Every structure is written in structure tokens, then in C-alpha cells.
Amino acid sequence: MRPGRCAWFLVAAAVLGARSSAVLADERVHLERDDSMEKLIGAYTRAAGLKPLKPRDGDQVRIWFAEPMAHSVTGFIVVKGVAMRCELTTESDFEDRGQYSRNDLIVHKGHCESRAEQNARIEDAMRHLPEALEFDGQEFGCGMEDGWEARVDGVIGGQRFSFEADNPGACDEKAGRVNDWLKVIMGAYGEDATEFRAQ
């Protein structure tokens, strides 16, 4: 096996880790909780069979695009030398019963595939990774009722960052920069990925 190819397998193994039996079960997330964003990212991570993201794991980013009306989630994971795309499905469980109302999202087990051949694109995405620190802890949206939403989680220089975006290409300048950044990161997976979202 070529040295570069061997390094790619090592990185992919570190990101994927060992799949546990917990991955096989559906996971319910209560959307009304204050920590629902953190819980959703955790549920997506486990459903895709990925290891939890930790600062010591090195620079990387995970973007989870959700289409609530389509009950689908697509994740783009970029880490040195590897770009991955994950596909998940979800199910809404909502019931309006006053104080006993329920607003949950059920996340089903998914799958991921990797690309190691897009080296130039991956390197370009990694160069733009530090720009995400400007967006950390914020929400960017245009108040649209449909479309897509993204939850972003990553590490740069040992520092965690996370933020949310909701159709950011349709509103102000800063949200537009977020949209451009998402395109660059998705581009690590290939040209077909940039047509997927953030248009």
C-alpha cells in the first residue's frame, strides 16, 4: 500500500472509529430543550457512525445540512486528507397538547462514504477553516419558513467552534460570507457537492 494511501486509511479510521451497538438504534431528540443543537449534532454523529468530536483530534469540521420537509440530513466531514459525505433520515414526532405538547425529532441510522482523491480541494477547504472562528456561537438566518438549515461543529488549533445557518445566502453580507464559507468546505468533497446546498 502506498504511504499516502496508508495515511488516508489511518485518518478515516480515526474519524469513523469503531461502530458501537448504540449506532443501530434510532435516537430521539427533544427540540424544545435549550441544548437541542448540541443534542442534534450528537445524534447525527452517532447515527453516521462517527466518533464524538474532541479538540485533541486535530483540525476538522462537520457540517450537517437538514431539510425538515424532506426528513433528510446530509453531513460533510472534512479532516486532513479526507472528505466524507454522510446521509441520514429523520422523522418528526409532534403533538400539540398544551403543556403536554411534544416536539421531537427521531434520527435514524445512516451511512458515510469517503473521498481521498480530492487533495487540492481538501487542502483549500482546510486553509479556510480558521474563518469559522468568526462565526462561532452565532445563528445566521433569513427568516425563511422552508429550505435548509445547517449545524456546524469543528476544531481549529485545538479550539472548538459551532454555529447555525438557515438559508444564509438570501440575507445580509455577513450571512453571505457564511454561505460562501459553506460552499468552500463542501467543495472538498467535489464539484457535485457545491451544487447540493448553499446556493
**Residue pLDDT, tens place only, 28-75:** 888 777 777 788 889 999 999 999 999 998 999 999 998 877 788 999
Higher pLDDT, residue 100 or 122: 122
pLDDT score recorded for residue 98: 67
The domain of 142 spans: 3-194
Decide: pTM greater than 0.85: no
CB 26 within 8 A of CB 94: no
* Cα first-last separation, the chain: 39
Q: For the chain, what is the mean pLDDT? A: 80
Percent of the chain scoring above 90 in pLDDT: 42
Residue 189 DSSP one-character state:
G
For the ranges 5-19, 23-37, 79-93, the maximum mean pLDDT occurs at: 79-93
199 in a structural domain: no
Q: Using one digit for the tens of pLDDT, what is the confidence trace for 140-179?
A: 987 666 678 899 999 999 999 999 998 877 777 788 899 9
What number is the average pLDDT over the span 72-83?
91
Confidence band of 100 (pLDDT split at 50, 70, 90): low
126 in a structural domain: yes
- CA dist 92 and 126 (Å) reads 34
Number of domains present in the structure of the chain: 1
pLDDT score recorded for residue 6: 46
The count of other CB atoms within 10 Å of the CB of residue 145 is 7
59 in a structural domain: yes
**Cα–Cα nearest to 182, from 150, 159, 154, 155:** 150
What is the SS3 assignment for 95? Answer: strand
- CA dist 70 and 129 (Å) reads 29
